[in-house]
Amino acid sequence: MSIRILVADDEPNQLELLTFNLTQAGFEVVRAGDGQQALDMVEEHRPDLVIIDWMMPHMSGIDVCRTLRSRSETKRLPIIILSARGEEGDRTLGLDIGADDYISKPFSPREMVSRVRALLRRAHPSLAEDVLEFHDLRFNQTTMEISRGERVVSLGPKESRLLAILMERPGRVFSRAQLLDLVWGHGVFVEERTVDVHVSRLRKAINVPNSQGDEAMNLIHSVRGSGYALRVPTDK
């Protein structure tokens, strides 16, 4: 199940930063540029969590929070308030109004994602299980349990990360350079050929024939001159 997060901020750069990091973490993101639009989008998109800036045009984040808490259908909606105002009084006001968490700017994107996951675990344990599914592949990122059909798959840490990236964006073609950055990290010198080696190991692990000897469908496709993508083949 895809977890939908509404992000509301009138600063385009901040909105883009939040969207990028939440999307990379596997969440579906919808965006609003002011408080009134945020309220409208809550009704339209029914998000699982809202991240909203304190100071916005038309309606402040505090007023949006107060309005959401006054409505029966959104009174339990998880809300995180962002603010450049870091004083204790402001933080207390935000929490007293009904926000579940308060994060001061500037903040670490990694910490933001961790706080989102923690809040989801408290508010919606079933949503926060963080399970990726594609065709007959299932990857529980909380327990790191991977299966294909009824068979448990054992993977190393690099192969697990590769699989998670491909499952988060099925159909998207990732270049070797992109996979190197996402799996090994920026600034780490690793030859692109290394990606091919780990993809080969990943394929070998997930494509093992079943107990009847039927060969498993190859889901990881090489795209000539581009990279790799997770797809169901159109023909056998």
Sign of the alpha-carbon dihedral angle for 172, 236, 219, 174 = negative
Query: Which of 94-98, 143-147, 151-155, 228-232 shows the lowest per-residue confidence on average (mean pLDDT)?
Result: 94-98
Together in a domain, 121 and 139: no
Edge-to-edge strand list for the sheet holding 137-140 = 131-134, 137-140, 145-148, 151-153
Query: Which of 39-48, 63-72, 94-103 shows the lowest per-residue confidence on average (mean pLDDT)?
Result: 94-103
Domain boundary among 128, 155, 178: 128
What average pLDDT does the segment 115-128 reach?
Answer: 76
Together in a domain, 173 and 102: no
Give CA–CA dist 59/30, Å, rounded.
Answer: 18
pLDDT at 107 over 60: yes
What average pLDDT does the segment 196-209 reach?
Answer: 91
Together in a domain, 102 and 211: no
CATH number at residue 75: 3.40.50.2300
The mean predicted confidence, pLDDT, of the chain is 85
Beta strands in 60-216 (DSSP E): 79-83, 101-104, 131-134, 137-140, 145-148, 151-153, 174-175
- 143, part of any domain: yes
pLDDT at 129 over 70: no
pLDDT at 215 over 70: no
The pTM score is 0.55
User: From residue 124, how far is each of 23, 43, 76, 113, 130 by CA, in Å?
Assistant: 19, 19, 10, 16, 11
Type of residue found at 160: S
Together in a domain, 123 and 212: no
Parent domain of 26: 4-128
Res. 220 pLDDT band, cuts 50 70 90: very high
Helix (H) or strand (E) holding 53: strand 49-53
Together in a domain, 144 and 42: no
Residue 52 CA, distance from chain mean position = 17
Phi, psi angles (nearest 5°) of residue 145? -90, 130
The predicted structure's pLDDT at residue 123? 79
Domains: count for the chain: 2
Together in a domain, 115 and 142: no
CATH number at residue 154: 1.10.10.10
The predicted structure's pLDDT at residue 236? 45
Together in a domain, 152 and 185: yes
**pLDDT tens-digit map of 135-189:** 889 998 878 899 998 889 999 999 998 998 898 778 888 899 889 888 887 666 7
Together in a domain, 170 and 104: no
What average pLDDT does the segment 116-121 reach?
Answer: 85
- 236, part of any domain: no
